Amino acid sequence: MLLTCAFVGSIALTGCKDDNADDNGQQGGDGDISAVDNGLWPVSDSHMDTSVKPGDDFYMYANGTYWKNTVVPIDEKNPNNNAKGYDDDLSTAFKKKVAALTDANFQKLENDVNKLDATTAQSKQKYDEMVEQSGFKEAVTREDLWKSFGRMASMGVATCLDFEPFFLNGKVKLYVSYRSPEMFGEGPKDKSDDSKAAAKARSLQAMIKDNPSLLSAMMPLQGEGTRSIDKSRWPNIVLMLEAMGLNPADCYAAEEFAIQTGNDINSDEIKKSIAESNEQLDGIEKMDFDELKIEINNYVTVDSALISTSAMQEFNTVARMAQAINPDAFMKPMSTKGIFVTLDNVYMGYLRSKLTAEQMMTATVKQQMTDAALELRDVFRSRIENNEWMSQGSKNNAIEKLDNMMFCIGYPEKWITEALPDISQSKSLVEDVYILRMARLNLFKAVVGKDRTDADIIYNVTLSDNTAGLFIDNAFYNSNFNAMIITPYYCLPPFFDAKNNQAFNYATLSITGHEITHGFDTGGAKFNKIGDPSPIWANEADAQEFEHRAEMLVECYNGFEMLPDELPGVMANGKATITENIADLGGAEIAFQAYNNYLTKNGFKGTQLKLQRQRFFRGIAEIYRSKYNKKHVEYLALGKNKENKIDVHSMNKERVNGIYCNMDGWYEAYDVQPGDKLYRTPEKRVRIW
C-alpha cells in the first residue's frame, strides 16, 4: 500500500538495545536488529507532563505542560476564543490562505461592488432586458406569471424556490422548499464555526441524518407515486420548474404527516420545518393574479436596488419603513459590504473550492491520500470479517456497505464547467449577480438524476452546499450519500507530510478512519449501501448487541469529569456524543491496526517497535492538544448557546482518554495496569468496530 512504499526512504535498520525503551528515550541492550523511522517527529516533548502517569490521564501526560502554561482568558462575546490549541492554530492559518485565494472573478466582483455608480446605465439596461424577456409585464393569467417567474430564475433573478440535492434509490434528486426574497444585508460577520454549524443544522442532509424516515416521505412533484404531493397541489410550481429547465419528476417535497417518529431524533422539529415550508409553498401557489404579481415583483425589486447607490438608498428607505411596521418583514436595508459578503457566501463557494484545489493541492498528494484511505478500508474490512459479536448476515451487509462507500479525497477529477461563473465580460453588478445565480442553478441541473456510483457526482453534490466546500477546515461523512469527503485541510502538512515520522502520519489518518466509521455509528448504521433508510443489521439480536455496546460507551464517557478545577462534578454527556465517540474509537482502532501492519512489514522490533507504537498514541493526543476554559465547555458540552444544543463531539480531553481506555494496543504500549485511573478490565473495554 501507499504508506508502506512511498515513505520507505525514512526507514533504516539498526541494532536496538532494549526491549523496554519508552517514549522518553531510555535505552538498554539485547542486540535485536530493528528498522528505525528517521522521519521528522513533529510533536514537542515540551508539551508533556511526565509527572502524570499515562494510565491515569493520558491527555495530561501528553499535553499537561502545554495546558498549565497556556492562558485562555474568558471571552464572553465570542465562545470560539475560549480555547487555544493545535487545531485552532492550524485552522486560523488555513483560513487566511483560503481567504487570499483569488482570481479574475473575485477581483471583478469586488470592483463592481465598490464602483456601483460607474455601471448604472449598464445595470439598468440588463435589469430591464431580463424583465422584458421573461414576459412578466405581458402576463395575463396566473399561469403566464408562473412561467415568467421560472424564466426569470433561469436568467438569474432570485427565485421563491430553494433546492437541495439528496439521493433516493441511488439517484440525485432535488428537494424543493420555499425561499424568501434574497437580501444583501451585512450577513455573518465572519465564516466562523458557529455560522457554519447553524447553517448545517438547518440543511436537508442534517434532517435526513437525524430522521432517516424523511426519505420515505419524499414525493416527486410530478409523476407516478406522488400520492398527495402531485400536480393537484402545486401545479403552478411545476410550471415554474419547467420554465427553469428542471424536470419536475426529479424535484421532490416531503409529505409532512408521513414522517415517522420511532427512534428518530428531533422528529417533531423536522416535521415543523417541513410543514412550514410546505405551507409557504401552498400560500404562494394559491395567490390570485394580483397577489402573485406583487409577490414576484418583490423578488425582482430586490435586484433593482443593485443598479446604483441611489436605487439602494430608495430601497433602504422603504425597507426601514417596512421593518418599523413589521420586524419580520422580508425587506431589510442593504449595504455594499453586505452585497459582497452575501454573494461570496452563497454563490462563490464552488469557484472557491476549485481555487483551493488548484492552488493548494497536487495530484500526487491526492493519490497518496486516496491510497491511504483504501488501505484503511482494507483494514476495516478485515476487522468486520473478524468481528466476534455480529452474525455473518450483518457482516455481509456491513462489508457490502463499506465496499460501496465513495471516497472523495482532496478534489473532484471533473468539475462542472457550467457551474463555474465567468463574469469577466460582465458590464455591471446586476449582470454579475445574474451570472452567479445561473451558475448555481446549472450545478443543480448538472447533477440531478445522476447516479451515486460516480465519485465526481458525489463530490459535486457535496460542493453545492457552501458549508461543505473544499475551503472548509473539516471532513465529512454523509449517510444519505454513503460517502466520505476528506478536504485539503487534512491532506496537507502538518496533518499529512511525507517528511514526517510514520507514527504521526498514521495518527492523523485516524481522522479518515473516523469518517469511514461514521457509516457504522448509531446513525450511519440505519442507512444501506446506497444511502437509503435500511439498517445494516440482518437480525434483531445484532441490532440489540450493537445498541448494548453503544450504551457501554455512553456509560464510559459519562464517567469523565470534564473540567475538575473550574466545573467540579460536571460530567461528560456520553449519550449526546455517542456518534462521534464511536467514530473516534473506530478511527483510532483502524489507523492503529494499519500502522501495526506497516511496522511488521518493515521489520520494526523491540525498543523501536514499542517506541513507534507509543508515538502513534502521542500523535493523536497532539491533534487534540488544546487548552480551554469553562466558557468553552459550557458553550459546547453543556449547550449554553443560542441554539441550546449540546455539541455532538466530546471535549478534547475526553476524545483522547475515552478512546485509549478502550484500546488494547494502548494498554500494551504504555504498560497500563490495574489501579491506573483509566484502566478498564478487558471485558469492560468497548469493542464495536
Per-residue pLDDT tens digits for 334-364:
888 889 888 888 899 999 999 999 999 999 9
Label residue 31 by pLDDT band (50, 70, 90).
Answer: low
Name, in order, each residue with C-beta under 8 angstroms of 545's C-beta and a sequence gap of 6 or more: 389, 390
Name, in order, each residue with C-beta under 8 angstroms of 96's C-beta and a sequence gap of 6 or more: none
State which amino acid sits at residue 434.
Y
Let me know: does 266 contact 201? Beta carbons within 8 Å.
Answer: no
The CA distances from residue 445 to 246, 288, 505, in Å, are 7, 30, 39
* pLDDT at 450 exceeding the cut of 60: yes
Class of domain 58-99+362-409+493-684: alpha beta
463-522 pLDDT per residue, tens: 998 888 999 999 999 999 999 999 999 999 989 898 999 999 999 999 999 999 999 999
* pLDDT at 40 exceeding the cut of 90: yes
Pull the grid cell for residue 257.
Answer: 404527516
**Dist. CA 584–CA 556, nearest whole Å:** 14
137-156 pLDDT per residue, tens: 999 999 999 999 999 999 99
Centroid of chain to Cα 319:
35
Let me know: does 292 contact 145? Beta carbons within 8 Å.
Answer: yes
Let me know: does 508 contact 493? Beta carbons within 8 Å.
Answer: no
Nearest to 536 by CA among 462, 583, 482: 482
* pLDDT at 578 exceeding the cut of 60: yes
* pLDDT at 23 exceeding the cut of 80: no
**How many Å is the maximal CA-CA distance in the chain?**
95
Question: At 162, which helix (H) or strand (E)?
Answer: strand 161-168
The CA distances from residue 569 to 22, 226, 360, 572, 573, in Å, are 34, 54, 45, 10, 12
> What pLDDT does residue 26 have?
36
Domain parsing of the chain, residue ranges: 58-99+362-409+493-684, 116-333
Nearest to 557 by CA among 438, 483, 655, 636: 655
* pLDDT at 199 exceeding the cut of 90: no
* pLDDT at 558 exceeding the cut of 50: yes
**Dist. CA 517–CA 290, nearest whole Å:** 54
Average pLDDT taken over every residue of the chain: 89
* pLDDT at 18 exceeding the cut of 80: no
- What average pLDDT does this structure show over 63-90? 92
> What pLDDT does residue 295 have?
92
Nearest to 628 by CA among 17, 84, 13: 84
> What pLDDT does residue 533 have?
93
> What pLDDT does residue 104 have?
93
Let me know: does 379 contact 594? Beta carbons within 8 Å.
Answer: yes
> What pLDDT does residue 265 have?
59
The CA distances from residue 506 to 13, 25, 619, in Å, are 20, 21, 8
Residue 99's Cβ-count burial label (10 Å; 0-12, 13-18, 19+) is: exposed
Question: At 478, which helix (H) or strand (E)?
Answer: strand 475-478
> What pLDDT does residue 6 have?
42
**Dist. CA 13–CA 11, nearest whole Å:** 7
Label residue 273 by pLDDT band (50, 70, 90).
Answer: confident
Pull the grid cell for residue 265.
Answer: 431524533
Q: Where are the alpha helices (DSSP H) in 286-326?
A: 289-304, 309-325
- What average pLDDT does this structure show over 519-527? 96
**Dist. CA 623–CA 645, nearest whole Å:** 25
Coil vs helix vs strand at 486: strand
> What pLDDT does residue 340 have?
87
Q: For residues 328 and 684, which has the higher predicted lDDT (pLDDT)? A: 684
- What average pLDDT does this structure show over 448-471? 92
Label residue 275 by pLDDT band (50, 70, 90).
Answer: confident
Name, in order, each residue with C-beta under 8 angstroms of 365's C-beta and a sequence gap of 6 or more: 410, 491, 492, 496
* Angle at alpha carbon of residue 537, lines to 533 and 542, rounded to 5°: 145
* pLDDT at 296 exceeding the cut of 50: yes
> What pLDDT does residue 213 have?
85
DSSP state of 684: G
Q: For residues 462 and 330, which has the higher predicted lDDT (pLDDT)? A: 462
**Dist. CA 403–CA 536, nearest whole Å:** 13
> Across 321-464, where does the E strand assignment appear?
406-409
Nearest to 284 by CA among 271, 300, 301, 296: 296
β-strand pairing of 83-85 with 161-168 = unpaired
> What pLDDT does residue 587 have?
98
**Number of other CB atoms surrounding residue 161 within 10 Å:** 21
364-416 pLDDT per residue, tens: 999 999 999 999 999 999 999 999 999 999 999 999 999 999 999 999 999 99
Nearest to 20 by CA among 607, 477, 578, 570: 607
Label residue 617 by pLDDT band (50, 70, 90).
Answer: very high
The CA distances from residue 194 to 81, 140, 198, 624, in Å, are 12, 47, 6, 19
- What average pLDDT does this structure show over 256-262? 57
**Dist. CA 585–CA 557, nearest whole Å:** 12
* pLDDT at 190 exceeding the cut of 60: no
Let me know: does 230 contact 238? Beta carbons within 8 Å.
Answer: no
> What pLDDT does residue 456 have?
93
Nearest to 228 by CA among 254, 249, 250: 254
* Angle at alpha carbon of residue 478, lines to 472 and 483, rounded to 5°: 95
> What pLDDT does residue 257 have?
60
Least confident of 182-196, 394-408, 422-436, 663-677: 182-196
**Dist. CA 513–CA 484, nearest whole Å:** 10
Coil vs helix vs strand at 248: helix
